[in-house]
Structure 1
Amino acid sequence: MNYPKIPLAQTVIQLFKAKNVSQIVISPGSRNAPLTVGFTNDPFFKCYSIVDERCAAFFALGIAQQIKQPVAVLCTSGSALLNYYPAISEAFYSDIPLIVLSADRPKHLIGIGDGQTINQKDVFENHILHSANLKLDLKDEHKIPEKEELPILKSIEGKLERFLGFQQGIQAYNEEEINIAINKARLKKGPVHINVPFDEPLYETTTKLEVKPKVTELEIKRRKFENFELESCVNDWNDATKKMILVGANPPNDIEQRWLDDLALDDSVLVLTETTSNIHHIDFFPSIDKLIAPLTDDQLKQLQPDILITLGGLIVSKKVKAFLRAYQPKQHWHVDENKALNTFFCLEKHIEVTPNQFFTEFSPRITHFVKSEYRPFWDDIKWKRNLKHAEYLKNAPFTDLKVFDTVLKSIPEHSILQLGNSSAIRYTQLFDLLQSIEVFCNRGTSGIDGCTSTAIGCAVSSKKQTVFITGDLSFFYDSNALWNNYIPNNFRIIIVNNQG
């Protein structure tokens, strides 16, 4: 097998292989050639070549969304890297593990007017879990102008000392940074950036590996739900007659059904779900906007919960956000092992465990169901809303609403439904979907810039029937998503052409 001759490139490739990061999306360029050569020559890696960097990054995001493991996207130096930013920010806010590998020029060529060169160090620092700025191999530093060398390096002895000792330090530093980045992407579920400097020649290969990098194993330290915190939550829960659980974006089958069934038994609990929650129960409340939109001030006060528990990611519904900001609960708890967003300006507790871990410890301590008319009252409202909704659709003219009603009924069972942003996701929120349909949408930053690319990456990875519903503007904005050879037969696009 041929390997890149540069030790740093060998280090990156070996650590990716050791840590089972096998999916690599490659953008064009020559500065990244050592890594491109290494990845494509090793059958362990599944490599995709996509020209448009923005599309490539969203394509990788779609794969990572499905396999729930880090996927790498690789580019050359310069502005190519900046085209990854929209997908990086989406991955950051949607908790999707994405590894950005950028080739860079040597440090002494940055900031002097050399071509295809920008300052790539920490370029994504506001939307990244870790930035690994690797160091150039000493074997590549012979081209540094003499006046830029440290005085000690001007002597033969100094250079020998550097090669014998400093190279080991640089190698150890690079190995540690790569390990940290990959581990953090996997553990914290988000994007990381590994910036890799290379000097020419870039295309030389060898049949022998010169380095054997150290692999740092991933340490998973689950936070425990402390007893005093648990007891406090249980006591408050048992006293409250109006409890609301709001579930945002959530992977399919992420929360065990037994906990959902337990919640459905309690008349004091209202569970509100969204299309992207991927949670279904006959006693839950999907189509939140349909429920809330017509409510009067007095009815909104009746809906106002004593305790609000939020699960999952970002919320789509503007109306529920406006409602909970205006009619704040007495307590708001968010359950997530990584982060909590104070969306409603009243967050009191961040319970840093997974939802399953929370319910495993919390539910058995609920000794009784408090008497309440909270859910029965809103069940009646929900039933009436559904009747009016169905009646309206029977006589509705041919509009966007009617189109979505027709289209959503035609989605096959056990499909994946990818939704474009803006009107596509908001109209879909007004309808109940089959339980077997898995729903995804780029709601981290809610942009239209990579929805098609994400959907294609999803279809390539999942192998399931994947239907992507998008508006015309969003479709044309990301039309380069179709400029590749990987679009599978299981992928369908439905464009709602409503002139933007």
Structure 2
Amino acid sequence: MNYPHIFSIPAICSQLGIKNVIICPGSRSAPLTIAFTRHKDFDCKVIPDERSAAFIAMGIAQQLKEPVILICTSGSASLNFLPAIAEAYYQQIPLIILTADRPAEWIDQLDGQTIRQEKVYGNHVKASFNIQTDKEHADAQWHSQRMMSEAIAISTDAPQGPVHLNFPFREPLYPDHNEFKDVSTKVITNIKPKLNLDNGQFDSLIKQWNSFKRKLIVCGQGILNTQELEYLHQLSDKFKIPVVGDIISNIHELEYGITHPDVFLGSSKSGLHESLQPDLLITFGKSVLSKHLKIMLRKYKPQQHWHIQSHSVAADTYQSLTHVIQVSQEDFLKRIAEQEDSQTFDTQKQENYYHIWQIEERKTRRVLSSFLPTDNFGEFEVVKKVLEALPENTNLHLANSMSVRYANFIGIGSDKKNIKVFSNRGTSGIDGCNSTAVGAALSSSVNNVLITGDMAFFYDRNAFWHNYQVPNLKILVLNNHGGTIFKMIKGPNQQPELEEYFVTEQKLKAEQLAKEYGFDYLFCDKRSKLNNYIKQFMEDDDVTKILEIETNADENQAILEQFRADFNTQ
């Protein structure tokens, strides 16, 4: 074997706290595969499909909040990692991608499984390293070890994200029997500082804070811990500051949280948007799902917009960003919540502003609780009943397209404790929703429930093509036999090509897939069966389950339009 020094790579990863490795089978990557599988400190899993493998790795890293190693062979295998790498980049999830490659002299020479792999992921990784082919010299070995330590440090620095290391290998790739060479290992450990505002900086912010009469907090995608929720509760209750967030912001346990902005901001109520314009906008977290919230804040801009995060470069989502405050969310919320509540004429204006948001939120919740669809059986009520039936301590995964939108319209009650919501809203694609949920199920002991449409489900069916059991995974498939969202978007829904070229009708059902992989399968196409099937679906009996709901796309659209009409008449 030409590369005994590669055994130092897993040693570095282990010493820096990495425990999980996803391996895609291949020959050129044999030195990496052998090095990691022979190291005692790793949980190595083999996933044949590279696209699924990368999303599974991302799901594991998302749950464990630590980097996962991802290994593949040379050629197009590396290209199949890209959708998940882009998603991890925008969701700020740490991945360490190790791709095997052919030596430089064989690139573009029509040799098998040989493409241009150096920096193949472009701007969707935080850094990319091309490790030298020849490692005879001690300095070259020192260099590869240094690059490995540096890659892990970059991946875990804020904002976290994927880092790529490309390893060109020459043959022979496989060791002789029992060949294993001990190699001295150099590890570089990064000590990360804790970011806090000093008193002078904070006092300056508070002076500005107190000058604004209408303050608004918007939470982007993220997992909020219990302590942060308590600080948000204090800010909402004591200072009457509206706290707004989609279902993916995970603030649903906040009793007075504004969790349905996409419903009431999409109404036809005259003057509503203008009345909700803030003077000061405070944001944290990643993407926001609500299109109507983004439209409102872009049109009715705040005087100042502060974004709270631990690194310097922030997205200007609402075109009004004035301050990036580099501090932890928890520290910022804690210090603001500890301020004295002094009653003045301006605080009355803040309270009036708060009540406008609360009135619209309460109205939405009333309509949702009393909404009775037509006689037609549809997806809206299915998602509503499944969300209501979720047990505590559940990971809820929402596939893109209509699944995440239904859930966002409906929401999760504040009485539901420890429901953590995940969705691939970095790039918002349908191409890894199953696999991400599988990765989460493989790395957590709680129940994982995936709500997905038929297109996303069948597109990612290789998520289950491996030898690992996921008994804590339950999948709700909303099968209306096509991409229904295009019927609801202005533009495609007005084109004669709609049905064939946008909706893309498909005739599959999930039953055969369930049989192939040994999953329990439930099928429902009638309202009369629904409650019983949801009860069976939610039973905690250590079996992977698929509940497939078959409905009519046109009837689903009519039900959603009926809901919007009922809301606008309130």
> What is the TM-score when the length of structure 2 is the normalising length?
0.79
Do 1:73 and 1:101's aligned partners in 2 also have CA atoms closer than 8 Å? yes
Deviations 1:240-262 (A, max 9, x none): 22111111111242752331222
What residue in structure 1 maps to residue 425 of structure 2?
A: 443
Q: Which moved more, 1:437-446 or 1:116-125?
A: 116-125
Shift in Å, 1:423: 0.5
Equivalent residue runs for 1:192-203 within 5 Å: 192-203=163-174
Report the Cα distance in structure 2 between the residues aligned to 1:199 and 1:221, rounded to whole angstroms: 41
Which of 402, 406, 419 matches 1:423? 402
After TM superposition, give the deviation of residue 365 of structure 1 in Å.
4.1
Query: Matches of residues 272-291 of structure 1 in structure 2 within 5 Å?
Result: 272-279=244-251, 280-291=253-264
Match of 1:300 among 263, 273, 277: 273
C-alpha contact 2:19 2:41 (8 A) present in aligned 1: yes
* Aligned residue pairs, count: 470
Give the superposition deviation at 1:394.
Answer: 6.3
Aligned to 1:172: 142
| Pairing partner for 2:236 from 261, 264, 273 | 264
**358, 366, 371: which one aligns with 1:379:** 358
Which residue of the partner structure matches residue 181 of structure 1? 151
Structure 2 unpaired stretches of 5+: 483-570
Note the C-alpha offset of 1:366: 5.0
Whether the aligned pair in 1 keeps the contact of 2:135 and 2:141 (CA below 8 Å) is no
Query: 371-380 or 23-32: which moved more?
Result: 371-380
Q: 2:29 aligns with which of 22, 29, 32?
A: 32
- What corresponds to 1:135 in structure 2? 132
- Equivalent residue for 1:93? 90
Instruction: State the partner residue of 2:284.
Output: 311
Over residues 331-372 of structure 1, what are the superposed CA-to-partner deviations in whole Å (9 max), with x where a residue is unaligned? 111111134110111111111121012223443345536223
1:402 to 339, 360, 381: 381
| Structure 1 stretch displaced more, 437-446 or 257-266 | 257-266
Deviation, structure 1 residue 234: 1.2
Partner-residue secondary structure (3-state), 1:333: strand
Distance in structure 1 (CA, Å) of the matches to 2:407 and 2:449:
13
3-state secondary structure, aligned to 2:409: coil
For residue 157 of structure 2, give the secondary structure of its aligned residue in structure 1.
helix
- Structure 1 unmatched ranges of 5 or more: 140-166
Q: 2:97 is paired with a residue of what secondary structure?
A: strand
Q: Evaluate the alpha carbon distance shift between residue 267 and residue 365 of structure 1 in structure 2; reply closer, same or farther with a 3 A threshold.
A: closer
Note if contact 1:267-1:373 (Cα within 8 Å) is conserved in structure 2.
no
Give yes or no for the alignment of 1:82 onto 2:79: yes
Q: Report the Cα distance in structure 2 between the residues aligned to 1:138 and 1:324, rounded to whole angstroms.
A: 55
> 1: CA distance between counterparts of 2:149 and 2:375?
57
Measured against aligned partners, the alpha-carbon deviations of 1:53-77 in whole angstroms (never above 9, x if no partner) come to 0000001001001000000110001
State the 1:481 CA deviation: 0.8
- Contact 1:8-1:136 at 8 Å conserved across structures: no
Report what 1:221 is aligned to.
193
- In the superposition, relative to structure 1, how do residues 254 and 125 fare at CA in structure 2: closer, same or farther (>3 Å)? farther
Q: Which residue of 1 aligns with 2:325?
A: 351
Aligned to 2:444: 462
Per mean C-alpha deviation after superposition, the further-off stretch among 248-257 and 11-20 is 248-257
What secondary structure is seen at the aligned counterpart in 1 of 2:164?
strand
Partner AA of 1:405 in structure 2: K
Aligned to 1:204: 175
Given the superposition, is the C-alpha separation of residues 255 and 446 from structure 1 closer, same or farther in structure 2, using an over 3 Å criterion?
A: farther
d(CA) in 2 for partners of 1:241 and 1:252? Answer: 27
Q: String of CA shifts for 1:445-480, please: whole Å, max 9, x gaps.
A: 000000000000101101211111100001011011
- Aligned residue identity for 1:250: G
CA distance in 2, matches of 1:27, 1:420: 24
- Please list every run of at least 4 consecutive aligned residues from structure 1 whose deviation after the TM superposition is greater than 6 angstroms: none
Deviation of 1:297 after TM superposition, in Å, equals 4.2
Secondary structure of the equivalent of 2:371? helix
Q: Secondary structure at 1:265's aligned position in 2?
A: helix
Matched, 1:190 2:161: yes
Give the Cα–Cα distance (whole angstroms) in 2 for the partners of residues 52 and 208 of structure 1: 29
Give distance in 1, aligned partners of 2:19 and 2:57.
12
Query: How far off its partner does 1:23 sit?
Result: 0.5
Instruction: After TM superposition, give the deviation of residue 5 of structure 1 in Å.
Output: 6.3
> Which one is further off, 52-61 or 116-125?
116-125
Contact 1:267 1:374 in 2 (8 A): no
The residue type equivalent to 1:190 in the other structure is G
1:45 aligns with 2:42: yes
Contact 2:56 2:437 in 1 (8 A): yes
- How much has 1:183 moved relative to structure 2? 1.2
Name the SS of the counterpart of 1:256 in structure 2: helix
* Matched-pair contact (CA < 8 Å) for 1:26–1:49: yes
Which residue pairs with 2:566 in the alignment? none
Q: Identity, % of aligned pairs?
A: 38
1:494 positional shift: 0.6
Superposition RMSD in Å: 1.9
Q: Aligned-pair distance for 1:393?
A: 3.1
Helix, strand or coil at the partner of 2:187: coil
- Cα 1:383–1:393 change in 2 (3 A) is same
Which residue, out of 92, 101, 106, partners 1:104? 101
* Equivalent position to 1:360, from 321, 334, 338: 334
